[in-house]
Structures are given as C-alpha cells and as structure tokens.
Chains A and B, each alone.
Chain A
Amino acid sequence: MSDPDPRPASPVEDARVRVWDLPTRLTHWLVVVLVALSWWTAETGRLEWHRWSGYTLLGLVIFRVYWGFVGSSTAKFTNFVRGPRAITSYLKGGWAATAGHNPLGALSVLALLALLIAQIALGLFAVDIDGIESGPLSLYVSFEAGRVAAGWHCDVFNVLLGLIALHLIAVAWYVLFRKQALVAAMVHGERSYPEPQPASVQTASAPRLVIGIVIAVVLTWMVTRAFRF
C-alpha cells in the first residue's frame, strides 16, 4: 500500500467485500421460509398449502442449480466445489480466503441441495394412506409405489432436518468463535475480510437472471400439470 491509511490499524476495520448477489440471498431465505412452511403444513395436515409450498421450493431449487452454472461467481459450483485435497488444506489452515463458500462448506451446500431435490421429487410421487392427498406426478405410479414415496418423503425429511441442524451449528461456530458474520453476509451480501481481501462477487447479467426465472417457473408449472397440457 503506497497511501498511508489515516485510520488506526485494527482488525474491526477490515475492508468490506461484497460476497453474495441478491438472487442467491433471496433464494436462500425463501428456501428457509418455505422449508419451515412445508414442515408446518405437513404436521398440521394442510396438504393444499403443502403442495404449493413444495412447488415453490421446486422452482427455487431449479433456479439455484441454474444459478450454480451461469449465475454470480460465488454461486457457481465450479468456483467453490473442491476436492478432498483442498478440504484438507482448508482444515489445516493453508487455504487463502476466497469470497463465498469455503471448501468444507461446499460439501454442506451440495448435500443440502441434493437432499432438497430428493425430498421434492419424492413429494411429487407421494400418496397418502387414504389415496386422497397426493403429489402431482402420483398418477404415473401405483398406490403402493406412491406409499413407498410417501414413506421416504418422511424419512428424507428427518435426514434433511439433521443436515440443517449441522448447517446451523457450523454457522454458529464461525460466527461465535471465528468472528465471521456469516448470517449478516447472507442478509445484506457483504462481509469484512482482513488483508489481503479476496475479490468481490462478480454478478451475472440481468438477462441471465430473467432466463433463470423463466426456466424455473415454466418447469415448475409443467410438473404441477404432470406434463399434461
């Protein structure tokens, strides 16, 4: 640095870096709200709402996967999914800070996303014990297969809850012991980093965002219609 910083050097004065773009943050928090809503509607037997909640989650997950390929730099899978060597290196402290998911957190992202996809897919085929409530694609499977899907829909949810708990514990650990304001970063998109600061998020263009929303809405609509038009 050639220009002397007039402020006193202090770790709390670390420079703020933009980490998450709005679409990624919005997707994250909508998933939180809708998983909670899906849970509550299932527990209280509000299956009509449960279906709508599931459809919205389907759209969000489709968008998140799309954004993982063509979205902002920190949302892209190729930019944060790393192999075992990088994970070991991160755990040993030999990993230079990059904006976004660390190599270990990447596993959590992939696992949560995979479980959400499995959970939504199972719900689409699930049939309740009375044959009254069912997912939109259940008309392509037998009553027995629909019952199996419903059983798994229940079991996978418990695994998902376990992973969510692990996610929350991990975030709490980073916030409390590593002093990394991860929750705030997911809210307003920014985080402070010590020197040397990593590069900020590179956002994706508006047309890409619009295309992603259209794909998510159209695909979800097709599924709710059971591909019959």
Chain B
Amino acid sequence: MPRTLFRSAMFRSALVAALLVPVVHAATPVEAQKARHEHYEKLGKAFKAVRDQTSTDSPDFAVLQQNAEIVNEASVNQQQWFPKGTGPEAGKTRALPEIWSKPADFEAAQKMFSDRAPKLLAAAKAKDVDAVKAAFKDLGGSCKNCHDTFRAPEH
C-alpha cells in the first residue's frame, strides 16, 4: 500500500538520506583547496595569538589555552586536509606533489606536528609561560620541517 510505504521507517530514512546527499557531497578539489587554505589561516591566527601572549609580561592563559586547543585540533584534523587530487593539478596551491608521491614521509611530517601540539596545550593548561614558549618553538620546528619539503616557496 502506498500509504504504508510512505510511513515506513525505511522510506523515511531513505528520504532523509536523499535530502542530505547534496549537503554532504564530496567537496570538489578546488573547494577542498579553499577549505584547506582557510584551515591553515585559522591555524596561523592561533599561532599568532599564542606568540602575542608569550611576548607580554602577563599572558592571558585563557586565550593561550583556547588557541592551543585550536592548534591541537588542527594537528589531528590536518591529516584529512590533503585528499588525492587537490595538488597543483587542481588549481593554485602551494601544496607540492611530493605530498602524494611520498605519502610515508608526509605522514611522518604530519605526525611530528600532532605529537608536539599536545605539549603546547598541556603547557597552556599548566599556566607555565616558559613551557609554552618552549613548546611553541618546538612546534614551529615541526611546521618548518613539513613546509621545507612539502610546501612551495611563497614567490
């Protein structure tokens, strides 16, 4: 019966799924590049906020912790920001092809970041400025480590 069909749980689930498809459809390579750029910009802002706080004599630990959390989340999430096909072949990006041609090296570089980020958060939570500064410097090293090999120079 049509009426029972429309009311069936299976049909409703299918309808919901059909409606959701356009929303959760896989991003196009250009969209993925744009999203990645925005993610890294947010990360850059968080880094600046941490640096600004450590440059003052009385850092705001709430701000430090909040931004250290952004950095920590990004360190895990960035492993999802480089889907295949989002390199220079898809559009303007500084992401180098080596990201996809040397996946093991790239994963190791990403892991260095995600291993070090929690230390910044821990130092911020412990309200230890010197530890924050040390962790920040350490973390900066992991950024540079990856960028040297997998990011094209600015100009």
- Interface on A for B, CB 8 Å cutoff? 45, 127, 129-132, 134, 136, 138-139, 143, 146, 154, 226, 228
Known: A129-B40, A130-B40. 5 other contacts (CB 8 A): A129-B154, A131-B51, A138-B48, A146-B48, A228-B57
In the A-B complex, list the 7 residue pairs whose CB atoms are closest, starting with the nearest: A131-B47, A131-B48, A131-B44, A139-B52, A143-B45, A132-B140, A143-B48
Q: Is the CB of B52 within 8 A of A129?
A: no
Q: Does B79 contact A (CB under 8 A)?
A: no
Q: Does B143 contact A (CB under 8 A)?
A: yes
Q: Is the CB of B143 within 8 A of A130?
A: yes
Q: Does B80 contact A (CB under 8 A)?
A: no
Q: Is the CB of A129 within 8 A of B55?
A: no
Chain B residue numbers with a CB within 8 Å of A136 are 55
Chain B residue numbers with a CB within 8 Å of A139 are 51-52, 55-56
Q: Is the CB of B51 within 8 A of A143?
A: no
Chain B minimum-CB-distance residue to A225: B55
Chain A minimum-CB-distance residue to B50: A131
| A146 CA to B44 CA, complexed, in Å | 11
| A26 CA to B52 CA, complexed, in Å | 36
Chain A residue numbers with a CB within 8 Å of B155 are 154
Question: How far apart are B84's CB and chain A's nearest CB, in angstroms?
Answer: 24
Chain A residue numbers with a CB within 8 Å of B57 are 228
Chain B residue numbers with a CB within 8 Å of A130 are 40, 43-44, 47, 140, 143, 147
Contact for A143 among B44, B56, B144, CB less than 8 A: B44
- Interface on B for A, CB 8 Å cutoff? 40-41, 43-49, 51-52, 55-57, 140, 143-144, 147, 154-155
A-B contacts counted at CB < 8 A amount to 45
Count chain A CB atoms within 10 A of each CB in B48, B49, B144 and give the residue with the most: B48
Q: Is the CB of A228 within 8 A of B44?
A: no
Chain B residue numbers with a CB within 8 Å of A45 are 144
Chain A minimum-CB-distance residue to B55: A139
Chain A residue numbers with a CB within 8 Å of B143 are 130, 132
Selected A-B contacts with CB under 8 Å, 28 pairs = A45-B144, A127-B44, A129-B44, A130-B40, A130-B43, A130-B47, A130-B140, A130-B143, A130-B147, A131-B43, A131-B45, A131-B46, A131-B47, A131-B49, A131-B51, A132-B47, A132-B51, A132-B144, A134-B48, A134-B51, A136-B55, A138-B52, A139-B51, A143-B41, A143-B44, A143-B45, A154-B155, A228-B56
Question: How far apart are A147's CB and chain B's nearest CB, in angstroms?
Answer: 8
Count chain A CB atoms within 10 A of each CB in B49, B52, B143 and give the residue with the most: B52
